[in-house]
Structure 1
Amino acid sequence: MKLNKILVIAILFGSLVSCKKDANNIDDDLKEPIFYYAGYSFTNKYSERDRKAVLVVQDSVIKLSPSQSADAKTVHAQGKDVYVGGSQYTEGNKTRVAYWKNGTIEYLSGAAQNNTATAIYAENGNIYVAGTVYQDNRPYQRLWVNGEQKVNSGALQFSGICAITVYDGAYYLAGQFAQAASIWYGTTMQTINNAPSEATFIHVENGEVLTMGYGNVDRNTDAAKVWKGTDEIFSHAIGARVSNILATVNGNDYYFVTNSISESGINVAKVYRNTQLLYELSTHGQSVRAMSITISNNKVYILGNILNAGKSIPTLWTDGTPKALFTEQDNIYLNHLYIQ
C-alpha cells in the first residue's frame, strides 16, 4: 500500500484517535494486504455501554463516532471505499442500525434496544447491510440493499444474519432462525440443520451454495459443519459445547475457530483444519474470544481479544503466531477483520 493511499484513507475518515505509527511517516514501500478492523474504544471495561465506534486501518485508529456512543460490528472494503456496519445509541439503551461509508454515517432503522447491523458487503457499487431490529422485544432479520429493505423475517428469539455474499447479482445470507442454522436467498429462508445450530459463513461458486457453521450432537458436544445447499457434507465433533464457530474455506480445506467455555470458566478458542486441531489461541490460562477468521495468501488470520478483568488486548494470530494490536491501556475491543 502506497503512502498516498494511506493519506487518502486518513483524510476520508477524519482525525485519528491514536497511531502506533505517524500516518505522515509510513514507509512508502509498505505492501498490501491492507488490514481493516471494526470495533470500539471504551473508558473502563469492554462490556460497558459507554463505547465509541472505531475503524482501524493497518495500525491507525479512526474515530467513527467521536461524540456519541456507538459500536462497529463488521467491516468490508471494495476498491477505495470502506464500509462499516454497527449501531449508534440514541436515548436510554436504544440503538439504531447504522453503517459508515468512508466515515459518513447512514441510519437504516429506528431506535430500539439491541438494534444493530450484523454483516456488511459491497459489490459493483451496491451496499448490502444485514441487521437485527426489535419490535415488542422480538427480533426481526433485515437486509438493506443501498438503503432499501429487501428481507423481513422474524420474529423468534435466537435469530440473526451472520454473513452475506453475492453471486451473479443475487444475494445469499447465512445465520440462525429460531436457534437453527438457516440460509436466505432473496426473500426465501431455509433451515439447513436442526436446532441448536448456526451458520456463520456462506460462499457461492458455480451456482453451488457452501455454508459453514456448527450443529449440536448431544448434551456434551457440538460439531463443526459444512452444508452444500441444504445437504450436510462435513461434520466433525469437537468435544465441547460452543458459543459459536467461525469458519472459512481455502481450496478443499475447511477452517474453523471454536469459542467455548472451559471447566474453569475461561473463554477458550481452538483452530481446526478439517478434522485436525491445529492450535489453541488460549495460552497460560488466558481467556480468549475469537472474533473473525479469514485466509489471505494461504495464511490463516484470526482476530480475537484476550480478556482480563474487564480489559481487552486485541490480538491477531497469523498461522497461530499472536501479535498484540493494542495494549490493555489502549482500551480497544475489536469485533471483525477484513483483509483487502
Structure 2
Amino acid sequence: MKRLFTLFTGLCVMLLAGCNDEYDDSALVKRLDDFEQRLERLERLCNDINTNLGSMQTIVTALDRGDYITSVEPLTENGSMVGYTIRFAKGTPIVVYNGKPGTAPVVSVKKDTDGIYYWTLDGEWITDGGKKLPVSGQNGTSPKLKIEEEYWYISYDDGTTWTKLDKATGEKGDDGAGILVDMDENYVYFTLPDGRTVTVPRAEGGSEPQPSVPHILYAVGQELVPGQGHYYATLWKDGKRQLLTDGSADSFCNGVYVDGNKVYVVGCEAIGDLFDDGYYEPYPLNVGVMWQFEVGNETQVTRSVLSDGKRATSPVAVAAAGENIYAAGFETLENSDRKAVYWRNGQMEYLSDGSTDALAYCVAAEGNDVYVGGYVQPADNKSGGIACIWKNGVAQNLTDGSTLAKVNAICIDGGVLYAAGAEKVSGGRWKGVLWKDGQPTYFTEEVGTEVTGLYVKEGKYIIEGNMTADSGDIVTCIWTEEGVQVISEGMALCQGTGLAVAGSDIYVAGNAYDMDYGTYEEIYRSPVWKNGTEIALEVVSSDNFTVWGLACAFVDTQE
C-alpha cells in the first residue's frame, strides 16, 4: 500500500531526526500501532468475507443438489466463538464467520423468479455483459474482495480483473456483516449479510440413520384411459395426479430424475409410423418423449420428442449433471432384437451395433461423465448376456458372457461407481449382484431376483426389487447390509418398480397383479410405500395403473 509506506517512511524520518533523551515518541508509536492494527483488522475482515462468499456458494449448491447438513460445530479462536464449521451429507465442509453490520460491500445471494440463485452487490443484481451471475451450476462463480490503497475492490472472474468500490474504513474492525447461523431440529438458517435468510435441511448424526428432511415425492407411470384400451402418461406429486398426455394415444412414463429444482421424466407415446407385424392390425410405434418442469411449477411442462418414429424407441431412465441431460433405453429392430441407446441433450447415440440383442436400463452422471448400465447378448452364446456399463459411450464388461447377467440400477457415491443387477447360470435362477467399481458381491442366493432401484450413501446401500419366495410368490423387497426386508406382505404377485430415499424416509413402488374372478378381468395396481406403510395415490382407474419410477425433490423453505 503506497500510503502506508509513505506514512511509515515519514514517521521513521521524524523519529530519527528528533531522537534525543528528552523527546517522547510514545504518541507517534501508539498512532503507528493503531494504524497497523487497523490494517490487520481489515485484512482479516477481507479474508473472512471471502471465506463466507465461498461458503454461500456451497450452501446454494447444497440446495440445488438436494444435500443436507449433518453437523454444525462452533469455531473458536483465542477462547471466543467466531463462527461455525458446517458439514454436509454429500458436499465438502464449509466455515462461516460471524459478523455485524458495517460499511463493507454487502455481497449476498438472492433467488430470482426462475428459481435460480444469483449474486447481488448492495442489494442489486451483479451482472456481466447484462447477464446475472449464477451462484451454482456449471456457470457458477464466487466473487472475491480485496483491499488496495485503502479501497475495496471486487472481482467476478477469480481475480483476473478488479472493480474499485468504496473506501475501506475499519476503524473498529466491524466493517462487514458476517453470516449468522441459527437452527432447530430440522433446519439450519443462514442469515446473509443483506438480511436475507436461506434455509437448508439438517439431520444430526453424521453417517447414522438420518431423520426426515423436507421433500416432495414424485412418482411416474401410467393409468388406463376409461373406456379405452390404452394409457395416460401420469405424474403424481405427493400422491396428487397430473396427466402428462391427453389420452388420445397410448402413453406411459418410465423414469423420473430430480436435479435441484428441475424435474425430468422420460417415457413413450405411440405416435410413430404404423407398423404391421402380420398378426394384429397395424399400430403406431412408440416414440421416446421427455417432459421437464420446475419444482412447484408442475403444470408448466415442456415436452420434447427424442426419436423420429421410424422404429419403436423406449427411453427408460434419465439423469442430469451440470448443463447436460441424459436418458437411456433401447430401440427395437425389425427382427425384434434391441439396440442399446442413450441421449445427451436430446441427441440419440447407439451403444450397441444391433448384431445381437442389447438393452440399456439405467443411467447416472457426474461432471462430464455419463454411465449407462445394461446388457449385451454375446455373439457366440445366444442364451447368455454380458452385464455392461458404458462410460461416455465406451463399453466396460462386468461379466464374460458365460452367464446371463445385467445391470439394472447405477449410482455414484463419493467418486465410487456402484451398479446393481442380477446374474444366473443356464437353467438356474437369478441371484442379486452389487458391483463396486466393477467388483461383484452377491447379496442373494439363487432365489429369482430382480433389481429396479439402488441408493448408496457413504458406502451403505439400499437395493430395491423383487424376488421369488419358496412358495412361488413374487414379493417386493429392499436389501441392505443387514439383510432383506419384504415390503409387499400379503401380496402374491408384486414386482418392485422404484426406489427413492430422503433422509430416513424410504419409498418403494410395486406393481401388483391380481384377477377379478367374477369378470376374469386382470387387475394391475401400484402400491407406493413410505417406510413400509402404503400411501394414497389419486388415480383415474383404480384397477389398472402402474408406477414405474420414483424421485424426491428436496425443499428449500426460503420463500
Q: TM-score, normalised by structure 1?
A: 0.67
5 Å matches for 1:245-256? 245-251=408-414, 253-256=416-419
Secondary structure of 2:378's aligned partner: strand
User: Does 1:322 pair with 2:484?
Assistant: yes
Displacement of 1:336 after TM fit?
A: 0.7
Runs of 4+ in structure 1 displaced over 6 angstroms?
none
Displacement of 1:186 after TM fit?
A: 2.2
RMSD, matched Cα = 3.4
Could you report, residue by residue, the CA deviation over 1:165-212 in whole angstroms, capped at 9, with x for unpaired residues?
A: 222243211222232221212231111222322233333333232333
For the 8 Å contact 2:270–2:287, the answer to whether it is kept is yes
User: Does 1:287 pair with 2:465?
Assistant: no
Identify which of 382, 401, 404 aligns with 1:241.
404
**Counterpart of 1:191?**
350
User: Comparing 95-104 with 178-187, which one deviates more in the overlay?
Assistant: 178-187
Distance 1:114 1:272, change over 3 A: farther
Identify which of 204, 207, 214 aligns with 2:365.
204
**Counterpart of 1:85?**
220
Distance 1:315 1:157, change over 3 A: farther
For the 8 Å contact 2:362–2:372, the answer to whether it is kept is yes
CA distance in 2, matches of 1:206, 1:252: 11
**Counterpart of 2:252?**
116
Displacement of 1:252 after TM fit?
A: 5.6
CA distance in 1, matches of 2:407, 2:397: 17
Distance 1:267 1:145, change over 3 A: same
CA distance in 1, matches of 2:416, 2:377: 22
Instruction: Give the structure with higher Rg (CA).
Output: 2
Displacement of 1:217 after TM fit?
A: 2.4
Displacement of 1:85 after TM fit?
A: 0.5
Percent sequence identity is 16
Displacement of 1:331 after TM fit?
A: 6.8
Distance 1:206 1:252, change over 3 A: closer
Q: TM-score, normalised by structure 2?
A: 0.43
Displacement of 1:100 after TM fit?
A: 0.7
Q: Which has the higher contact order (CA 8 A, sep 6+)?
A: 1
User: Comparing 100-109 with 199-208, which one deviates more in the overlay?
Assistant: 199-208
Displacement of 1:289 after TM fit?
A: 2.2
CA distance in 2, matches of 1:248, 1:227: 13
- Gaps in structure 1 of 5+ consecutive residues: 6-28, 35-77
Q: What one-letter code is carried by the residue in structure 2 that aligns with 1:145?
A: Q
CA distance in 1, matches of 2:375, 2:329: 11
**Counterpart of 1:272?**
435
Distance 1:145 1:212, change over 3 A: same
Identify which of 222, 234, 237 aligns with 1:101.
237
Secondary structure of 2:233's aligned partner: strand
Q: What one-letter code is carried by the residue in structure 1 that aligns with 2:325?
A: Y
Displacement of 1:298 after TM fit?
A: 1.0
**Counterpart of 1:61?**
none
Secondary structure of 2:377's aligned partner: strand
Displacement of 1:227 after TM fit?
A: 2.4
Secondary structure of 2:353's aligned partner: coil
Identify which of 129, 144, 165 aligns with 2:291.
144
Q: What one-letter code is carried by the residue in structure 1 that aligns with 2:220?
A: G
CA distance in 1, matches of 2:229, 2:455: 33
Could you report, residue by residue, the CA deviation over 1:110-160 in whole angstroms, capped at 9, with x for unpaired residues?
A: 437862101112234332111111133411110011222123314366631
CA distance in 2, matches of 1:108, 1:189: 23
Displacement of 1:225 after TM fit?
A: 2.2
Could you report, residue by residue, the CA deviation over 1:83-119 in whole angstroms, capped at 9, with x for unpaired residues?
A: 1101111134311101011222111124378621011
Could you report, residue by residue, the CA deviation over 1:244-293 in whole angstroms, capped at 9, with x for unpaired residues?
A: 6433344564433334666557554433334543115245xx33322222
Could you report, residue by residue, the CA deviation over 1:24-67 in whole angstroms, capped at 9, with x for unpaired residues?
A: xxxxx995266xxxxxxxxxxxxxxxxxxxxxxxxxxxxxxxxx
**Counterpart of 2:210?**
32
- Gaps in structure 2 of 5+ consecutive residues: 1-67, 69-184, 187-204, 272-282, 294-300, 333-337, 503-559
For the 8 Å contact 2:257–2:264, the answer to whether it is kept is yes
**Counterpart of 1:167?**
321
Distance 1:241 1:110, change over 3 A: farther
**Counterpart of 2:340?**
181
Higher relative strand content: 1
Q: What one-letter code is carried by the residue in structure 2 that aligns with 1:236?
A: T
Q: What one-letter code is carried by the residue in structure 1 that aligns with 2:500?
A: Y
Displacement of 1:327 after TM fit?
A: 1.6
For the 8 Å contact 2:377–2:401, the answer to whether it is kept is no
Count of residues in Structure 1 that have an aligned counterpart in Structure 2: 271
Identify which of 387, 392, 403 aligns with 1:229.
392
Q: What one-letter code is carried by the residue in structure 2 that aligns with 1:239?
A: S
Displacement of 1:161 after TM fit?
A: 1.3
Secondary structure of 1:237's aligned partner: coil
CA distance in 2, matches of 1:239, 1:254: 24
User: Comparing 88-97 with 320-329, which one deviates more in the overlay?
Assistant: 320-329
Higher relative helix content: 2
For the 8 Å contact 2:409–2:454, the answer to whether it is kept is yes
